[in-house]
């Protein structure tokens, strides 16, 4: 079947379509399980053991353990599902979204207070906006050595 | 007969709910936002509806990846605020209006729109934040929302999501359905979500004030043209989560000037318009449009 996926031409953006959804089914369903307080407690007590109850790929499990939001999205995660991990960790949507830009919390918050990220240069892949691949990471968080 | 008195449009950012629930509304960061809704809370007291038909999207709360209805109408007697991972919001149970909901489902499905009927679900911030913004926080002495609510959930999470045109046409059918209900109810229809925002990837934090304000202008005066905007324009211009704005077209389609063809109804009156950046990652937009006799 031929479909015109024009949304593949937007930089720094993954549209949650049927292919992503198929890849991320178990990852996202694991996230749904965190809507129950008892499951959140079990997950927090032993994350690896809890993840092993789900038929997720090892790469997906590692991405969750590292809280690498960009990796989770690349592996089929969707932000509204992944938000349940953030909620379990006590993180806000702003902290979660900001973590995907390579900015520190302060840098990202400052960008938002100053009116947010411009669409200029960020509409099509190959332009020169700050969301383009060649301009990552965008802030100090992405440049700091990994702990 | 029932009739739609007004439509209300507002963002439904979860951080707004958290700010309300944690008593942060007077903080400098939040003050300008809540100021924009002071008029609205008074307007709600002056123009109380009998029922609110509330268009929103479920954020992977009631609908997991097991089942994803494109359009789902709540026909239950009541709905509990959901635990989205940080415990349920401390807001009242949402009381439904099963009779009107069933009537709308019957009418709209007969009108060729294939709705999913939902008899049990929890409701997330997409539905409860607009209620808090418009009604304020209910006092503990009378812990309830002032009127019944019909939840109407639209899939804007997993592609393919419905087009703006489909939403607009569906809104017209909902408007006609409400007008044919045999009880003298004053109904408001609310469209929620948006405005520009992106919550994922290196492009997170995108805001487009020009796009948002043009959207507000056209929603008021050129909804026919606005309905033709394709998905990709929302994604490119308003961010991946800006696609939620198609839900505003459902509420607009239900207004008298466009829902009832040939009726000669006047365009709606703009009772209130507000725009603010940011609330967390999001541009907040808000409109109140009143139907004119």
Minimal Cα distance from A39: which residue of B?
A: B85
pLDDT value for B260: 84
Give the pLDDT score at A66: 97
d(CA B263, CA B234): 32
CB contact under 8 A, B14 and A136: no
Sign of the alpha-carbon torsion through B120, B125, B127, B131: positive
Q: Which residues of B touch A102 (CB under 8 A)?
A: 202
CB contact under 8 A, A15 and B240: yes
Question: A75-105 pLDDT, tens per residue?
Answer: 999 999 999 999 999 999 899 999 999 999 9
User: How far apart are the C-alpha atoms of B201 and B109, rounded to whole Å?
Assistant: 38
Question: Residue B169 belongs to a domain with what CATH number?
Answer: 3.40.830.10
Cβ <8 Å between A13 and B198: yes
| Residues spanned by the domain of B277 | 3-290
Q: Which of B61, B200, B232 is opposite residue A73, by nearest beta carbon?
A: B200
Mean pLDDT by 10 residues, chain B (293 residues): 97 95 96 98 98 98 97 98 94 98 98 97 98 96 97 97 98 97 98 97 98 98 98 97 98 94 83 98 98 88
pLDDT surpassing 60 at residue A71:
yes
Query: In this structure, what is the dihedral angle of CA atoms B32, B123, B184, B249, given to the nearest 10 degrees?
Result: 60
Q: Measured between beta carbons, which residues in chain B are less than 8 angstroms from residue A136?
A: 202
Residue of chain B whose alpha carbon sits nearest to that of A11: B203
b/e map A90-110, b = 16+ CB within 10 Å:
ebbbbbbbbbbbbbbeeebbe
Q: Is B192 helix (H, G, I), strand (E, B) or coil?
A: strand
pLDDT value at position A3? Answer: 74
Average pLDDT, chain A: 94
Chain A residues in contact with B208 (beta carbon < 8 A): 118-119
What's the domain count of chain B?
Answer: 1
pLDDT band at A63 (very low <50, low <70, confident <90, very high): very high
Q: Do B206 and A122 touch (CB under 8 A)?
A: yes
More confident residue, B42 or A1: B42
pLDDT at B230: 97
H helices present in chain B, as ranges: 14-21, 31-35, 38-46, 98-110, 125-135, 164-179, 209-221, 223-226, 231-238, 246-253, 256-259
Measure the CA–CA gap between A133 and B49, rounded to whole angstroms. Answer: 50
| CA–CA gap between residue B122 and residue B84 (Å, rounded) | 10
Chain A residue with minimum CA distance to B231:
A7
Confidence at residue A147, expressed as pLDDT on a 0 to 100 scale: 47
Task: Give Cα B149 distance to the centre of its chain.
Answer: 11
- Does residue A134 have a cis bond before it (omega within 30 degrees)? no
Query: Domains of chain A (ranges plus CATH)?
Result: 15-90 (1.10.700.10), 101-147 (no CATH)
What pLDDT, on a 0 to 100 scale, did the predictor assign at position A143?
Answer: 78
For B43-62, write each residue's pLDDT tens digit.
999 999 999 999 999 999 99
């Amino acid at each position: 079947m031929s479909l015109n996926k024009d949304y593949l031409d937007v930089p720094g953006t993954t549209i949650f379509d049927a292919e992503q959804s198929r890849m991320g089914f178990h990852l996202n369903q694991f996230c749904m399980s965190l809507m129950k307080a008892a499951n959140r407690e079990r997950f927090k007590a032993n994350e690896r053991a809890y993840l092993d109850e789900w038929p997720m790929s090892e790469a997906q499990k590692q991405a969750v353990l590292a809280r690498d939001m960009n990796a989770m999205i690349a592996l089929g995660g969707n932000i509204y599902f992944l938000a349940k991990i953030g909620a379990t960790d006590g993180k806000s949507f702003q902290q979660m979204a900001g973590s995907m830009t390579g900015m520190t919390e302060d840098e990202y918050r400052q960008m938002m207070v100053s009116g947010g990220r411009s669409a200029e240069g960020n509409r099509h892949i190959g332009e020169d906006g700050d969301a383009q691949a060649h301009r990552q990471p965008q802030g100090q968080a992405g440049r700091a050595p990994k702990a | 007969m029932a009739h739609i008195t007004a439509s209300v449009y507002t963002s439904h950012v979860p951080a707004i709910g958290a700010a309300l629930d944690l008593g942060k509304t007077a903080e400098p960061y939040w003050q300008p936002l809540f100021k924009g809704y002071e008029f609205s809370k008074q307007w709600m007291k002056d123009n109380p509806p009998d029922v609110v038909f509330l268009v929103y999207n479920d954020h992977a709360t009631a609908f997991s990846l097991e089942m994803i209805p494109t359009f789902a109408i709540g026909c239950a007697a009541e709905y509990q605020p959901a635990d989205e991972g940080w415990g349920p919001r401390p807001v009242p149970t949402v009381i439904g209006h099963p009779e009107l909901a069933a009537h709308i489902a019957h009418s709209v499905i007969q009108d060729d729109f294939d709705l999913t009927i939902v008899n049990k679900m929890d409701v997330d911030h997409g539905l409860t934040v607009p209620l808090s913004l418009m009604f304020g926080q209910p006092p503990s002495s009378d812990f309830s929302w002032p009127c019944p609510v019909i939840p109407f959930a639209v899939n804007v999470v997993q592609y393919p999501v419905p087009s703006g045109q489909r939403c607009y046409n569906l809104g017209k059918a909902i408007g006609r359905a409400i007008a044919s209900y045999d009880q003298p109810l004053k109904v408001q229809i609310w469209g929620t979500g948006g405005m520009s925002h992106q919550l994922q990837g290196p492009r997170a934090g995108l805001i487009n004030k020009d796009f948002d304000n043009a959207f507000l202008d056209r929603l008021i005066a050129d909804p026919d043209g606005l309905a033709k905007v394709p998905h990709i324009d929302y994604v490119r211009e308003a961010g991946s989560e800006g696609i939620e704005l198609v839900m505003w077209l459902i509420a607009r389609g239900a207004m008298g000037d466009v829902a009832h063809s040939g009726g000669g109804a006047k365009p709606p009156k703009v009772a209130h318009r507000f725009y603010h950046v940011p609330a967390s990652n999001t541009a907040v937009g808000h409109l109140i449009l009143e139907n004119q006799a």
